[in-house]
Each structure stands twice: as C-alpha cells, then as structure tokens.
Amino acid sequence: METAKTYEEINQKIRDGDVVVLTAEEVAGFVREKGVEKAVKEVDVVTTGTFGAMCSSGAWLNFGHADPPIKMQRVWLNDVEAYAGVAAVDAYIGATQLSESEGMEYGGGHVIEDLVRGKEIELRATAYGTDCCPSREIRTTITIDDINQAVLLNPRNAYQRYMAATNSRDETIYTYMGTLLPNYGNVTFSGAGILSPLHRDPNYETIGVGTRIFLGGAQGYVIWEGTQHNPGKAMGTIMVIGNLKEMDPRYLRGCTIHKYGTSLYVGLGIPIPLINERVAQTVARDEDQIKTNLLDYGVPRRDRPVIREVTYAELRSGKIEVGNKEVPVSPLSSFKMAREIAEKVKKWIERGEFFLSSPMELLPRDTIFKPMRQVAEAPLVRDVMTEPAITAGPEDTISHAARLFAEREFNHLPIVDEGGKLLGIVTSWDVAVALGTGKKKLSEIMTRRVITASEDEPVDAAARKLEQHNVSGLPVVNAGGLVRGVITSEDISKLIGRRVK
Amino acid sequence: MSVKMLLKYSAEALDKPILAEVIRQTSAGINILHAELNATKGEMLIGVEGSPEEIERLIDLFKGRGVDARRLERTVELDEGSCMDCGACLSLCPTGALHITEDYSVKLNENKCIMCEVCVPACPVKAIKVFKPF
C-alpha cells in the first residue's frame, strides 16, 4: 500500500505545531462524514487508550547493595514475595502475587501503586550467605526514590479485545472476569472497544518493537509481542516497558478481584499514525464492528462454551440479551479513563511533548496461542465416579435405605423420580439421624437442594465443590438431569493414592 | 423524600403485627430491606418514601407501639476520589442505585440503595462503603 506520510513528516509537523490529531472516537465520525481519503490527507495521528486490570504486569527493582552485602535469595515487599533469582539485589514484583499476611486484600499490584505514590515499603530478604555476601537476612524500608531502577515491565498488556463472561451455574462464581451471578444473572466484559489500541491497528502496520506509548502516565515503549499474542484471532497483545519513577498513580492502580486475587489496573495509550489508507480505514471502524464471544465461565474448562456472539456496541449499552432475557452488563475496564488517556496523548502530541517513533520491527502476525502440553490428562469425573449409582424413590422407606447402605457399603443415595431424574439426596448419616424420629419416607428426610457434578467436569472442579459446600459426595447428572453416578471424597482420595504410586 | 429507618423491636413487641398496623395508618411507602427477628434480636431496616411530616409521624407511630424507630443519616457512600469508573459494580446492583452516566462516570443514587452490599467486595479498589447499622 502506498505510504501517504512518513513518521519523520509527522514528527516535523509536531515540531512545527501544525500536526492534526484526533482520538479514535473522533476519527470514526470524521471518516463517516468525509471519507477515508480525506482522513489520510488531513489527519496525521489517531490516539487510543485503555484502562483495565492487566494481570501480566510487574516491575523490576534494584535496591542497591547493603553493608555487609547480601545475595538476596527470597525478597518480600510489604509481605508480598518478589522474584529474586537474578543476581544479588534485583527483584521482579508481579501484580498477582498475594501478601503472605493479608492474602487477597493486598498484592503485588498494590505494592506497585504504593511505590508510585512514594509510600514507604517494607523490604525483607533472606539469603544463604557467601564469602563475598555474608549477610543472611535484611529488614529495612524503602521508597521509590531510595532505589536505583524501578522499571515497569509488563509481559502481556492491552489485549486487542477480550471475551465477555456469564455464568450458567445456579450459584454465584468469582472469576478473573469478576463476580458472576447465578443463571446468567449478569455479563462482564473487558477492553476499551473503539478506543482499544491494538484493535485500532489490527493488521499491526504501525505498532511494533520501539513504538513509543503512554504507559501509566509516562512515556514508555512496546518492546516485543506480548505473551499469548494471537493476532489471527484478533487477540493480539504487547509487551511494554516504562520508567516507574515517572509514572502517575492515577494510571496504575492495585486492585483485588473478589475471591480471585490481586491485579494491576494499567493505563495505556498508543498513537497511531495514518501512514496509509488501510490504516485510516481500520482505525475508524465503529464499535458495532468489534465482535467478541460471550462465554460461559460456569464451565471450569480451558475451552468454555460460547453462548453467543456480541459486539462491543451492545456490551457498552449496559444490557444484552442472553437466552430470551435482558441481562445487565458490567464493563471491567473504565471507558472514561480510556477516553482521558486518548485525550492526554492527543494533548501531548499537539503541545510537542510526545513524538512518534517508527517501529524497528513490526510485531508478528502469524503467531498462535498454543494450549499447555500436559503429559498426563487431567482426570474427569467420569473416570473416577461410581456407576451406575444405587438410587431410591421418594416414597421408599427409610428402613429400605438403611438396608441398602448396610448391604452395599456406600453412603450417598440419590433420590430419583420414575424417569431417573434427580429429586434429592439421602446420606447414611441422614438415615442414622432419622432413626427414632418417627419419620417413614425418604422424601421426609432428603436434601432437596443438591450440589451436583457432571461427567465431563474435571475432578479438581468436583473436589472444589465438595470443599466449598462441605459435603462428602455429589450425584453426577447429565444435561437432562438423569443420575449417571456418584462421586465421593473417597473416590477422589483413591485417585490421589493412584497418582502417588 | 426517601429515607432509611432502623426499627428495634423489644422482646414483647416481636409477636405483634406492628408493621401492618403502622402501614394502615400512613400514606408513606414502606419497603422492608432487611429483617432479623429472633430470640436475641429484633431489628428491621426499612426504606420509607413520604413527606418529612409523614416520616416524623411514622417514627411516632412506631414508638407508640414499643418499637424504637431511628432515621439513618449515612447509609452508603461511593468514594469518588478512589473510584476508577470501571463499572464492575454496575451489573451486580439490583436496583440501579449504582449507575453510569452519559460520560461514563459511575455514580451512586443513595436513595435507591437497599444496602444489600453485593457491590462492596466486588469493587476492585474498595471504593464503596455501606454503613449497616447492625
């Protein structure tokens, strides 16, 4: 494609003070009205922005040497462990590492925010001691001004777009996509849509190694493709770097995703030069052309079922249809902040405070995101459950159940209707307790709200249910509600026994 | 106007249909938000819609029947200095008390809040405080 203008020409305009900059929202309107050709001629740069939880973030810190010296083996900042397996006094604090005393209430993301705020941070380190670095332990406090380098280096930021989430289960679940209410009670999504930096240049024609960007309130750089970069699926990511000492806590916020863990909200913006017509075309696409899938996070598997396709325009409206009901939607990233960042980058460029950098190398467009190679497949409920399950009817007597428990040596009796559908459950304990109460039928003592498992659910997920609900067995039912078997804590113990052997 | 009120039942008042009696005598709208009535506790949180005079009269009606009624001054607060306008709370709020404005700011309408507290832990930066009186 013919180049309409070069980076140098644009930077000259910035120096001359006559550069024309629009935000991604503004350029969409411009192109709708005046067309792409005019946009390439009249507009030089389009600014983007995003502000969301970016878990794959962290900072490299160098503390300087203590006297006597220490070769830090393990390091904690405000009780959050940082990775110290690099030389003596360097450490990487990751956003999702949890505090050892406060758990999910405080983590690496909070440490980074507190550093940027100039707060005192407690530094603790242990070591094995060497001839040159004899110290074995150190405790001190530091601020960002006391340390040598503080560099934000985020391996995977600014997802081009992301999946939207909902939950089919009949219980609330707590995920990295936030709190998801039962029975498709709400939907959450992330990403800045029309302002999303990477989605404004989906062919990766201008964003590459060395692209200067807005990062956490300072000027930073793209240094590589992000981990899991998957541009073919419109799921590109970038690895970015910037000087933490220059950053602004308004654009770097430590956070807690309830019952999931900690993270870091990162503000990031990329200016996109309109170097040719194709770039102008993609940079101006409306939000109703940005599609993503709504996934069922109620299924704890890598490949979650797709409920439907949605556009960012629908998600942005605050309500979408799931099944045939209207469901409220939560954005998890702030569109207001994304807008503020795009505006800020625009101002910087207009004032001659920010120049565009021509990428030294463009990002790959053909990488794919592979699943993990697992030498042993994770066992599923179907592999360990007891089948077929021994069942009884609601009209059967308690003494009938007592006899079954005694003869067949088991403890969980699903109660089913004539068609085999699950109605409730009676345990051997329920039967023991019922003795002497005068109750006769199983329907009088059965638990009606039963926690169940499905055959193709990982055993780990079933074990989590047993633990969370404090029960010792789950009937395994298929999609039609028919009982296929029972999985108990004993079945899972046996599995662990097998693994150890 | 719309206010929230905490009712404290004495042990003797627990088995009397006091709320029904009071409702029949007032034109104020009453919505039960939370109730805990048992052997050790007799507390109820209600939302009331009515004129200032009606609200004053309502307090007297309850007090006359042995129920201590108190208007709550602080119920819920959104710390706008800390809020990032991310919107994580929006789809969890059952009444739309937490809502988003045209410029994508997250705002709180205190009157609509029923103090269910679902938003409190879900806020990534803990910017929402609910002052539950019990």
> Is A2 within a domain?
no
Identify the closest residue of chain A to B103 by CA–CA distance: A336
**For residue B15, what pLDDT is reported?**
85
Number of domain units in chain A: 3
C-alpha to C-alpha distance for A481 and A501, rounded to whole angstroms: 36
pLDDT(A73) > 70: yes
Instruction: Check whether residue A95 and residue A230 sit in a common domain.
Output: no
Listed residues A86, A121, A147: the one ending a domain = A147
Instruction: Check whether residue A352 and residue A270 sit in a common domain.
Output: yes
Contact residues, A window 193-232, toward B, CB-based 8 Å cutoff: none
Instruction: Check whether residue A35 and residue A164 sit in a common domain.
Output: yes
**Token reading at A327:** 């469901």
Q: How far away is chain B from the Cα of A185, in angstroms, using its nearest Cα?
A: 8
> Is A306 within a domain?
yes
Interface with A, mutate which of B80, B85, B90, B91 (most A CBs under 10 A):
B91
B90:A328 CB<8 A: yes
List pLDDT tens digits, range A374-424: 888 888 999 999 988 999 999 999 999 999 999 998 999 999 999 999 999
C-alpha to C-alpha distance for A77 and A366, rounded to whole angstroms: 39
Mean pLDDT of chain A: 95
C-alpha to C-alpha distance for A71 and A202, rounded to whole angstroms: 45
The predicted model scores a pTM of 0.89
Identify the closest residue of chain A to B125 by CA–CA distance: A255
Q: How far away is chain B from the Cα of A68, in angstroms, using its nearest Cα?
A: 40
C-alpha to C-alpha distance for A198 and A54, rounded to whole angstroms: 15
Q: From the list B87, B105, B122, which residue is nearest A331 (CB)? A: B87
Q: What is the 3-state secondary structure (H, E, C) of chain B?
A: CEEEEEEEECHHHCCCCHHHHHHHCCCCEEEEEEEEECCCCEEEEEEEECCHHHHHHHHHHHHCCCEEEEECCCCEEECCCCCCCCCCCHHHCCCCCEEECCCCCEEECHHHCCCCCCHHHHCCCCCEEECCCC
| H or E segment to which residue A208 belongs | strand A208-209
Instruction: Check whether residue A394 and residue A462 sit in a common domain.
Output: yes
Write the ipTM.
Answer: 0.91
Instruction: Check whether residue A390 and residue A462 sit in a common domain.
Output: yes
Beta bridge partners of A212: A221
Burial readout A458-481 (b: 16 or more C-beta within 10 A, e: otherwise):
bbebbbebbeeeebebbbbbeeee
Residue ranges with strand state E in A258-352:
261-269, 271-273, 291-296, 306-311, 319-322, 325-331
Domain that holds residue A131: 64-101+111-147
Instruction: Check whether residue A26 and residue A140 sit in a common domain.
Output: no
Chain B residues with beta carbon closer than 8 angstroms to that of A255 = 124-125
A186:B92 CB<8 A: yes
Better-scored residue on pLDDT, A500 or A81: A81
Note whether B100 contacts A: Cβ–Cβ < 8 A. yes
**For residue A487, what pLDDT is reported?**
95
Q: From the list B85, B118, B126, which residue is nearest A334 (CB)? A: B85
Note whether A51 contacts B: Cβ–Cβ < 8 A. yes
Cβ pairs bridging A and B (under 8 Å): 71
Interface with A, mutate which of B86, B95, B98, B107 (most A CBs under 10 A):
B86
Q: Where are the domains of chain B?
A: 2-71, 76-130
**Token reading at A410:** 């088991």
CA A412 to chain centre: 37
Q: How far away is chain A from the Cα of B51, in angstroms, using its nearest Cα?
A: 33
Dihedral angle at the C-alpha atoms of A293, A299, A300, A302, nearest 10 degrees? -40
Note whether B52 contacts A: Cβ–Cβ < 8 A. no
Q: Return the DSSP state at A96.
A: T
**For residue A376, what pLDDT is reported?**
84
- From first CA to last CA, the distance across chain A in angstroms is 62
Whose structure tokens read 């690496």? A108
C-alpha to C-alpha distance for A378 and A381, rounded to whole angstroms: 10
C-alpha to C-alpha distance for A321 and A325, rounded to whole angstroms: 6
pLDDT(A264) > 70: yes
Interface with A, mutate which of B83, B85, B93, B95 (most A CBs under 10 A):
B85
pLDDT(A501) > 90: no
Instruction: Check whether residue A139 and residue A179 sit in a common domain.
Output: no
> Is A375 within a domain?
no
**For residue B83, what pLDDT is reported?**
98
Q: How far away is chain B from the Cα of A110, in angstroms, using its nearest Cα?
A: 10
CATH of domain B76-130: 3.30.70.20
> Is A430 within a domain?
yes
pLDDT(A500) > 60: no
Residue ranges with strand state E in A69-112:
74-77, 80-82, 90-94, 98-99, 103-107
A53:B124 CB<8 A: yes
Note whether A251 contacts B: Cβ–Cβ < 8 A. no
Instruction: Check whether residue A50 and residue A68 sit in a common domain.
Output: no
Q: From the list B84, B122, B125, which residue is nearest A178 (CB)? A: B122
C-alpha to C-alpha distance for A331 and B88, rounded to whole angstroms: 6
Chain B residues with beta carbon closer than 8 angstroms to that of A318 = 90, 100
pLDDT(B134) > 80: no
Q: From the list A253, A318, A331, which residue is nearest B125 (CB)? A: A253
- Is the dihedral angle over the CA atoms A242, A244, A249, A252 positive or is it negative? positive
**For residue A228, what pLDDT is reported?**
97
C-alpha to C-alpha distance for A490 and B94, rounded to whole angstroms: 41
Contact residues, A window 330-349, toward B, CB-based 8 Å cutoff: 330-337, 339
A336:B105 CB<8 A: yes
> Is A1 within a domain?
no
**For residue B120, what pLDDT is reported?**
97
- From first CA to last CA, the distance across chain B in angstroms is 24
**For residue B1, what pLDDT is reported?**
85
Whose structure tokens read 């207001």? A336
- Closest by CA to A189, choosing from B43, B86, B71, B94, is B86
Q: How far away is chain A from the Cα of B133, in angstroms, using its nearest Cα?
A: 24
At the topology level, CATH places domain B2-71 in: Alpha-Beta Plaits (3.30.70)
Chain B residues with beta carbon closer than 8 angstroms to that of A327 = 91
Mean pLDDT of A171-186: 96
Note whether B90 contacts A: Cβ–Cβ < 8 A. yes
* CA distances (Å), origin A402, targets A396, A412, A435, A490: 11, 11, 10, 20
Better-scored residue on pLDDT, A498 or A320: A320
B2-71 and B76-130 agree in CATH topology: yes
A11-15, A270-274, A404-408: lowest mean pLDDT where? A404-408
Q: How far away is chain A from the Cα of B85, in angstroms, using its nearest Cα?
A: 5
C-alpha to C-alpha distance for A57 and A227, rounded to whole angstroms: 11
CA A462 to chain centre: 22
pLDDT-derived band at A438 (thresholds 50, 70, 90) equals confident
Dihedral angle at the C-alpha atoms of A469, A475, A476, A480, nearest 10 degrees? -110
> Is A374 within a domain?
no
**For residue A378, what pLDDT is reported?**
85
Q: From the list A187, A318, A332, which residue is nearest B86 (CB)? A: A332
Residues of A belonging to the active site: 132
Instruction: Check whether residue A130 and residue A214 sit in a common domain.
Output: no
List pLDDT tens digits, range B71-111: 998 899 999 999 999 999 999 999 999 999 999 999 999 99
HSE of A54 in the Cβ direction (CA atoms, 13 Å)?
35
Burial class of residue A104 in the structure, from the number of CB atoms within 10 Å of its CB (0-12 exposed, 13-18 middle, 19+ buried): middle
Identify the closest residue of chain B to A316 by CA–CA distance: B104
**For residue A390, what pLDDT is reported?**
93
